[in-house]
């Protein structure tokens, strides 16, 4: 079974940047679609971005398009989320996840393995 550990969260001012990392252990993630989700207090978990196993296709939520970039380094068994031009509404716990299906997986039920999350707080 794979374990996913997110890091890189923190407090940043609006307009700033953060880079989240998701390190996998126990099993290679190279054959899996990977994704990032986020959950703000009192809200449901929402899709942020996904990347296919060959790094040839990515998909983003409309709210983060252009500002966020998902990438992966299969040699390091790690997935990244570069977040630029951060806004207060980006404040949430960010989760990395591994999909059990291929393609553009954008719903939580399409993922079977989750990290513990990392807090991102954007001040205005």
* Mean predicted confidence (pLDDT) in 8-21: 98
| β-bridge pairing 46-51 and 58-60 | antiparallel
Closest CA to 35 of 86, 84, 107: 107
Cα–chain center distance at 17 = 15
Tell me the C-alpha distance between 11 and 91, whole Å: 9
The strand pair at 111-114 and 92-99 is best described as: antiparallel
Please state the φ and ψ torsions of residue 110, each to the nearest 5 degrees. -85, 5
Residue 106 has pLDDT above 80, yes or no: yes
SS in 3 state form for 61-85? CCCCCCCEEEEEECCCCEEEEEECC
Using DSSP's 3-state secondary structure scheme, residue 9 falls into coil
What's the rounded Cα separation, in Å, for the pair 122 and 11? 6
- CB count in 10 Å sphere of residue 61: 16
Q: Where are the alpha helices (DSSP H) in 7-51?
A: none
For 17-68, how does the pLDDT look when each residue is reduced to its tens digit (9 = 90+)?
999 999 999 999 999 999 999 999 999 999 999 999 876 699 999 999 999 9
């Amino acid at each position: 079974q794979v374990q996913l550990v997110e890091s890189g969260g923190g407090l940043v001012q609006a307009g700033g940047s953060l880079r989240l990392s998701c390190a996998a252990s126990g099993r290679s993630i190279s054959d899996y679609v990977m994704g990032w989700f986020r959950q703000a207090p009192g809200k449901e978990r929402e899709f942020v971005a996904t990347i296919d196993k060959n790094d040839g296709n990515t998909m983003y939520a409309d709210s983060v398009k252009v500002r966020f970039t998902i990438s992966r380094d299969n040699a390091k068994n790690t997935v990244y989320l570069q977040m630029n031009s951060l806004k207060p509404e980006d404040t949430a716990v960010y989760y990395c996840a591994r999909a059990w299906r291929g393609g553009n997986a954008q719903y939580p039920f399409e993922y079977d393995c989750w990290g513990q999350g990392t807090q991102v707080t954007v001040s205005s």
